[in-house]
């Protein structure tokens, strides 16, 4: 019998609880939203339920396609059981179209299509500003991961992108960019964390309107509706 234990960690959009099995933990998806490193806070009603369902859908699809990840099963509307991993201390951002910090850094207009996929490794930063960009030499010098692990993560990020872009195209959503986190599970690198409108930029393919956290960040309105819309389309309820 699964027993849910103490709080392990609380992040922007989730809480992580221990269980009576040292190999698993429980993710609880919150409605709270945060942007600009905590400077802007709010609530997106129903977001927790949407993100839990979106993660289940995407992670199960990735498992089917051979991308190992932490998802085990959904427990209820807001909680899922996942493998308990040691999180690798840098994230990988995957970009197909220019937006956000990349637009600021390279000066290309938002919406510019990138001919080849851009992968960025970033350290998590508590500061107000963009997450510090690091390359493989920084990661090795800081002993954050081995070269083999970095290569595995980048290859997995490309594969996730291929799968996600082609799936989302079918439901008329453009995948602009997203952020991935990885973990070590019994010595092996697997995909962890979440893939949701909280950690990705999803645009309606017809109108190019954001269907993601940018609606909250930029006060665009209809935030709840945008999250629900992504889930409806995934469930074939468009």
Beta bridge partners of 72: none
DSSP string, 100-132: HHHHHHH-PPTTPEEEEEEEEEEE---SSSPPP
Q: How far is the CB of 182 from ligand C5P (least distance, A)?
A: 14
The structure tokens listed for 133 are 């960009």
Q: What is the DSSP string of 24-82?
A: EEEEEE-SEEEETTTTEEEE-TTHHHHHHHHHHHHHHHHHHTT--BSEEEE-SSSEEEE
Residue 199, interface with ligand C5P (CB under 6 A)? yes
Site for ligand C5P in 2-41 (CB under 6 A): none
The CA distance from 169 to 100, in Å, is 21
Is residue 44 a contact residue for ligand C5P (CB under 6 A)?
no
Residue nearest to ligand C5P (CB): 100
Decide whether 46 or 100 has the Cβ nearer to ligand C5P.
Answer: 100
Is there binding between residue 215 and ligand C5P (CB under 6 A)? no
Q: Does 177 bind ligand C5P (CB under 6 A)?
A: yes
Binding mask 76-105 for ligand C5P (x = CB under 6 A): -----------------x-----xxxx---
| Site membership for ligand C5P, residue 57 (CB under 6 A) | no
Residues at the contact surface with ligand C5P, assessed by CB under 6 A: 93, 99-102, 130-131, 177-179, 199-201, 213
């Amino acid at each position: 019998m699964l027993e849910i234990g103490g709080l392990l960690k609380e992040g922007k959009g989730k809480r992580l609880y221990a269980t009576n099995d040292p190999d698993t933990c429980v993710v609880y998806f919150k409605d709270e939203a945060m942007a600009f490193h905590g400077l802007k806070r709010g609530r997106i009603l129903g977001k927790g339920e949407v993100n839990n369902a979106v993660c289940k859908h995407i992670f199960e699809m990735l498992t089917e396609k051979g991308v190992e990840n932490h998802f085990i099963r959904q427990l209820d509307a807001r909680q899922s059981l996942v493998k308990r991993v040691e999180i690798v201390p840098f994230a990988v951002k995957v970009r197909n179209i220019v937006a956000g910090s990349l637009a600021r850094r390279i000066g290309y207009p938002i919406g510019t299509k990138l001919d080849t996929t851009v992968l960025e490794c970033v350290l998590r930063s508590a500061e107000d500003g963009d997450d510090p960009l690091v390359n493989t030499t920084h990661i090795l010098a800081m002993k954050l991961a081995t070269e083999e692990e970095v290569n595995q993560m980048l290859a997995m990020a490309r594969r996730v992108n291929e799968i996600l872009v082609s799936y989302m195209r079918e439901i008329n959503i453009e995948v602009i960019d997203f952020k991935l986190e990885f973990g070590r599970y019994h010595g092996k690198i697997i995909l962890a964390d979440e893939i949701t409108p909280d950690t990705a930029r999803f645009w309606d393919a017809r109108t190019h309107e954001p269907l993601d956290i940018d609606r909250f960040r930029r006060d665009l309105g209809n935030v709840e509706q945008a999250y629900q819309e992504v889930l409806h389309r995934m469930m074939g309820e468009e």
